[in-house]
C-alpha cells in the first residue's frame, strides 16, 4: 500500500526509537518467524505507521501503552482500525503490559492470528 513521503520519514524515525515492549517483540518475531510470515516493524501504510505488519496475512499488530486508553486516543485508534479494515487489514491490539509480562504468549497469539488470516 502507498504511503506519503512524510509517513515514510516518520516510520524511519520511529524505527530508531522503538519503545521497550516494541523492541522486545521485534526481536522475538524475527526469531520465531514461521515460513511465509515475515513481519515489518514501523511500517508506513497510507497516513499511518503500523507497529508491526505481516503482508502475507494482512495483519497489523499494535502494541498499546497506557496512552491508548486516554482522551481522544481510543477514537483515533478506532478510526485507524476502520481505515485499515476497509483495505482488508485486520488490527490486533496487544497491551504493552502483556508483551512485557509474557512475551511468549504474545508471540503465540500473533502467530496464531497470522496463520488464521493466511488461510
How does strand 59-64 pair with strand 90-95?
parallel
| Strands lying side by side in the sheet with 59-64 | 39-45, 48-54, 59-64, 90-95
pLDDT value at position 6? 66
Check: CB of residue 96 under 8 Å from CB of residue 19: yes
Q: What does CATH list as the number for 5-118?
A: 3.40.960.10
Q: Which three cell numbers stand for residue 36?
A: 511465509
Per-residue confidence of the chain (119 residues) as pLDDT tens digits? 666 676 767 666 677 788 999 999 999 998 766 677 899 999 999 999 999 999 999 999 999 876 656 567 789 999 999 999 999 999 999 999 999 999 999 999 999 999 999 87
How high is the pLDDT of residue 72? 72
Q: Model's pTM, two decimal places? A: 0.85
User: HEC states along the chain?
Assistant: CCCCHHHHHHHHHHHHCCCHHHHHHHHHHHHCCCCCCCEEEEEEECCEEEEEEECCCCEEEEEECHHHHCCCHHHHHHHHHHHHHCCCCEEEEEEHHHHHHCHHHHHHHHHHHHHHHHC
Torsion of Cα atoms, 12 then 39 then 28 then 96, to 10° = 70
| Residue 111 to residue 113: CA distance in whole angstroms | 5
Amino acid at each position: 500500500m502507498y504511503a506519503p513521503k512524510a509517513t515514510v520519514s516518520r516510520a524511519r524515525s520511529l524505527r530508531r526509537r522503538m519503545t521497550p515492549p516494541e523492541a522486545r517483540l521485534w526481536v522475538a518475531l524475527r526469531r520465531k518467524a514461521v515460513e511465509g510470515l515475515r513481519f515489518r516493524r514501523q511500517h508506513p501504510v497510507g497516513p499511518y505507521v503500523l507497529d508491526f505488519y505481516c503482508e502475507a496475512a494482512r495483519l497489523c499488530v499494535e502494541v498499546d501503552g497506557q496512552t491508548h486508553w486516554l482522551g481522544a486516543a481510543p477514537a483515533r485508534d478506532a478510526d485507524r482500525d476502520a481505515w485499515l479494515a476497509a483495505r482488508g487489514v485486520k488490527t490486533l491490539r496487544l497491551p504493552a503490559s502483556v508483551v512485557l509480562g509474557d512475551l511468549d504468549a504474545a508471540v503465540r497469539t500473533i502467530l496464531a492470528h497470522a496463520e488464521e488470516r493466511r488461510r
